[in-house]
Structures are given as structure tokens and as C-alpha cells.
């Protein structure tokens, strides 16, 4: 009853991501409208009856401990669902007791599978390990020594929004006026990222061109997550919006915006920072945010001295996870978002990643757990929960045509935290495996 009371209060607390540590599932009403990720379709307009408060909420914020009673046989609990026709003929699975590391169930747990958006768990662990949870991503404005030319420098923050761009314009205009400057030329610098900007899947409403400078993730509507029409050149669009904001503040633009490089001897004028990395990871996982996932993969590359490209991120994420002594096997991280079918991850690796995030020796990884969508409450699980499991299952969803995956944590009847991963690789239709995967997760918390 104490857990229920704590969760009930926490669910009503304000703010979606507070210092990267989710107290429980806050702002549920807003969360119910959020989707996102690899081909995640928007939920139905009619919401189901509100779930009970999440009794598991405090559990992810403290190290799990093993109770004396042994867990119920997981294989027996999962057996009724393993041959559900919606899962197709290819299913792998792993269930692990987080406190002891003991595998409670495995079905081809080491086999590499296309993970879809569950690969974001690997991206999250890698970037938190590489940068730390307090790292913030800057977007900067600098000036040439004569102050005739200023440059908007992209730092790789896809969460830059209109309010923060206005604040950046305020600071820039103020700094220029203090120097008696009212007319400038504007350039924008996107040299931080290397290689192709377009994801290999091509133009797609699930992701904008991958660039270190973008406003509202390149969205052309008022959405904040999920599929949306995207601009073809988000960096130029952002710079053009910045020109307009400077004009409103009395700073005229003689030329630009033009793509260029910041001068070697630049003078800093203004800067805005993203939320801490812990909060960015939570947002990425909760909403299955593809733009943010590709950005965080590139920041893993930058922290590891690799080029901020698809190839550099692949190498850096792999290196970082090897350093954490995770069982990579034949894992392959072609992108950070899971939109690429060439990504390969095993169910055993996913449960190992989740267990590592719960390890008291790695508190920097805890946002991986607190960011997981919660059944019946948040993100891509806001419309997905079995009876009596709302709040007890936290999991990252993943869907592509023919692929359905679910990986996360569940609270067993005897109070254990279980890490699970279920991966269906040849489903008969898009989303066909989701009901069975949800029932499998629910079977862990009867």
C-alpha cells in the first residue's frame, strides 16, 4: 500500500523529465498523445479507462535486492503464448533476475535479430557511459573579430525548440548592440557531423535528415513526437528562423543564411544548452525518438574520438559496450534508432543491457530504466497494458513490418525485478506480434 500511495502522488507531479530522474510517470495526459519510434503509429483517439497508479515506480530508482523466496517458473508462465500465430515462426526470448543475474528463461537468447527500436536501449547505455548523465549539448553563436559576420554553430541538439532559439536570439542581439553592431552576415556551421545526412531508409516521416542543427526536429507541423512531415534541410530552415528572430530584435541581416564554418578566432556571443543527457535519454526511450537517438549515437562517437557519422557511431557504440563487458556476440549497430533492418541484437544482450543499467556500480546508467515507457501510462506503451499490469511493466517497444520486439523490466509477484526481451522476427503483418508480446510481459507479473 505504501508503494501505491507513493506512485499515486508521483504520477500527478509536474514536468516530464526532471533532472533525468523520473520520480514516476508524470504528466500522463500529455504522454498519452505521444508516440514515435520506428514505424510506431499514433494510438487510437479513444483512450482506455485510466490505469491504477504504478506500484512499481519507486523500484527503478533503487538497487534491486533478491528476496528469499525463489521465483515462479518463468517457462511455465510463458508457455501459453510462445506459439501465438501473431508472433510468426521466429521468436527469441530472455528473462533474467536482475538482482542475481540468473537467467530464468531463454529461447535462442544469443541469436542476432533485427531489434527495431529496442536498439535504442543500446544507444542509451552507450551515450550515458561515454558522456555521463550531466552532459548538455550546446548550440552556439559566435562572431568574427570584426563582428560583421556571425555563425550559428550546430552542436547536435535535436531538442532545440522555438523558445530556446528565441532566447539565443535575445542573447545574440544584446551582445551585438553592446558592440554597436546592427547589421551582420549570417552563416550556419554544421561541420560537427560527417557523412550522409539522410538515413538509409530514405525520406520518411519517422526521421529528419541527421544534422547537428535543427529546430523542433525538422517537423513541419505542431507535433512534438511521432511521425510527422519533415523539412528537407532542417539546418537551413533553423538558420532562416534565426534570421527572422534577429530582425525582430533590430539586428538586420546583410546576407545569409549561408552554410559555412565558424572562424578560427571567433568571439562567443550567446549559447543555449539542452537538458542533461539523462533527460535526453529518458525522452528518447519514452517517445522512441528517432532523431534524438541518431544524435545520441553521434555524441557517443564524438566522446570516443570517432567521426560523428553513421559509421563512426556504429564503431563507438560497439567499443563502449565492449568496455562495459556486455555479451555483444554478433551484434551490429548500423544506426542508433533501429530504423535500419541491418541492426542485429540478441535478446540476451538486451537483458544484459537492462541489468547493467540496474547495477549499483553504474548509477550513471539508471536513466535507461527510468526512461522506459510504462504500460498503461507513458510513451509508446500508454495504450498497451494487460489487466492488472499497468505500472508493473516498463518496456521499450520496437516495430517494423514483420518485426515486433519488447524489452524491459517487470516486477514479479515476489518483488523481484526481472529484465526481459522478446523478439519476433517474421510476423505475418505490421504490429501482429504486439498483443502476444504484451501478454508475455504480463505473464511475468500475474
Q: Which residues, other chains included, contact 83 with Cβ-Cβ below 8 Å and sequence gap of 6+?
A: none
Residue holding cell 529546430?
215
Could you say which of 223, 225, 288, 382 is catalytic?
288
Can you give the C-alpha Rg of the chain in angstroms?
22
Q: Which residue bears the cell 498519452?
A: 32
d(CA 335, CA 329): 17
* CA angle (226 as vertex; 18, 432 as ends), nearest 5: 115
* CA 137 vs CA 111, 159, 169, 267, 294: distances in Å: 36, 10, 17, 19, 14
Active site residue 62: no
Sheet holding 417-424, edge to edge: 103-107, 91-97, 417-424, 403-411, 393-400
Strand partners, 113: 345
For residue 255, count CB atoms less than 10 angstroms from its CB and return exposed for 0-12, middle for 13-18, buried for 19 or more: exposed
Q: How far apart are CA 22 and CA 11, in angstroms?
A: 10
Rounded CA-CA distance 159/161 in Å is 6
Q: Which of 23, 56, 94, 117 is catalytic?
A: 117
Q: How far is CA 291 from CA 78, 259, 385, in A?
A: 35, 21, 26
Are 338 and 398 contacting, i.e. CB atoms less than 8 angstroms apart? Answer: yes
The whole-angstrom separation of Cα 278 and Cα 18 is 9
Whether 182 is catalytic is: no
What residues are paired with 230 via a beta bridge?
A: 219
Catalytic status, residue 278: no
- Residues 338 and 324: their CA atoms lie apart, in Å, by 21
- Peptide linkage before 257 cis (omega within 30 of 0): yes
What is the DSSP secondary structure assignment for residue 133, as one 8-state letter? T
The three-state secondary structure class of 270 is strand
Helices (H), 179-309: 234-248, 277-287, 290-303
Which residue in the list 56, 94, 120, 274 is annotated as catalytic?
A: 120
The tally of CA atoms less than 13 A away on the side-chain side of residue 52 is: 13
Name the β-bridge partners of 139.
272
Active site (catalytic) residues: 117, 120, 288
Amino acid at each position: 500500500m505504501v508503494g501505491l500511495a507513493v506512485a499515486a502522488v508521483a504520477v500527478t507531479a509536474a514536468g516530464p523529465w526532471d533532472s533525468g530522474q523520473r520520480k514516476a510517470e508524470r504528466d500522463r495526459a500529455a504522454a498519452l498523445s505521444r508516440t514515435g519510434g520506428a514505424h510506431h503509429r499514433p494510438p487510437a483517439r479513444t483512450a482506455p479507462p485510466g490505469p491504477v497508479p504504478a506500484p512499481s515506480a519507486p523500484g527503478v530508482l533503487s538497487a534491486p535486492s533478491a528476496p528469499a523466496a525463489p521465483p515462479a517458473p518463468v517457462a511455465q508462465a510463458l508457455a501459453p503464448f510462445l506459439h501465438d500465430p501473431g508472433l510468426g515462426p521466429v521468436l527469441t526470448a530472455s528473462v533474467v533476475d536482475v538482482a542475481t543475474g540468473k537467467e530464468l528463461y531463454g529461447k535462442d537468447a544469443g541469436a542476432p535479430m533485427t531489434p527495431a527500436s529496442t536498439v535504442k536501449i543500446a544507444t542509451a547505455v552507450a551515450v550515458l557511459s561515454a558522456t555521463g548523465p550531466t552532459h548538455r549539448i550546446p548550440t552556439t553563436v559566435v562572431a568574427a573579430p570584426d563582428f560583421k559576420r556571425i555563425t550559428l554553430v550546430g552542436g547536435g541538439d535535436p531538442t532545440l525548440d522555438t523558445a530556446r532559439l528565441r532566447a539565443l536570439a535575445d542573447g545574440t542581439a544584446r551582445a551585438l548592440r553592446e558592440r554597436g553592431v546592427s547589421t551582420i552576415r549570417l552563416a550556419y556551421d554544421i561541420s560537427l557531423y560527417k557523412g550522409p545526412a539522410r538515413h538509409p531508409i530514405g525520406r520518411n516521416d519517422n526521421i529528419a535528415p541527421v544534422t547537428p542543427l535543427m529546430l523542433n526536429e525538422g517537423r513541419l507541423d505542431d507535433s512534438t513526437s511521432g511521425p510527422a512531415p519533415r523539412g528537407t534541410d532542417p539546418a537551413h530552415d533553423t538558420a532562416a528562423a534565426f534570421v527572422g528572430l534577429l530582425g525582430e530584435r533590430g539586428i538586420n541581416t546583410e546576407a545569409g543564411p549561408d552554410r559555412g564554418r565558424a572562424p578560427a578566432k571567433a568571439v562567443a556571443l550567446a549559447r543555449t544548452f539542452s537538458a542533461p543527457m539523462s533527460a535526453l535519454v529518458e525522452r528518447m526511450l519514452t517517445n522512441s525518438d528517432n532523431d534524438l537517438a541518431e544524435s545520441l549515437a553521434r555524441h557517443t562517437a564524438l566522446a570516443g574520438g570517432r567521426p560523428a557519422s553513421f559509421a563512426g557511431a556504429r564503431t563507438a557504440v560497439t567499443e563502449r559496450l565492449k568496455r562495459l563487458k556486455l555479451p555483444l556476440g554478433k551484434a551490429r549497430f548500423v544506426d542508433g534508432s533501429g530504423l535500419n533492418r541491418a541492426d542485429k541484437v540478441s535478446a540476451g544482450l538486451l537483458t544484459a543491457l537492462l541489468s547493467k543499467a540496474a547495477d549499483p556500480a553504474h548509477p550513471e546508467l539508471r536513466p535507461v530504466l527510468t526512461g522506459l515507457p510504462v504500460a498503461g501510462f507513458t510513451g509508446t506503451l500508454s495504450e498497451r497494458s494487460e489487466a492488472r499490469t499497468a505500472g508493473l511493466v516498463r518496456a521499450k517497444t520496437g516495430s517494423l513490418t514483420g518485426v515486433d520486439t519488447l524489452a524491459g523490466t517487470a516486477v514479479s509477484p515476489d518483488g523481484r525485478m526481472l529484465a526481459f526481451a522478446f523478439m519476433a522476427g517474421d510476423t505475418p503483418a505490421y504490429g501482429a506480434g504486439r498483443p502476444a508480446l504484451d501478454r508475455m510481459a504480463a505473464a511475468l507479473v500475474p
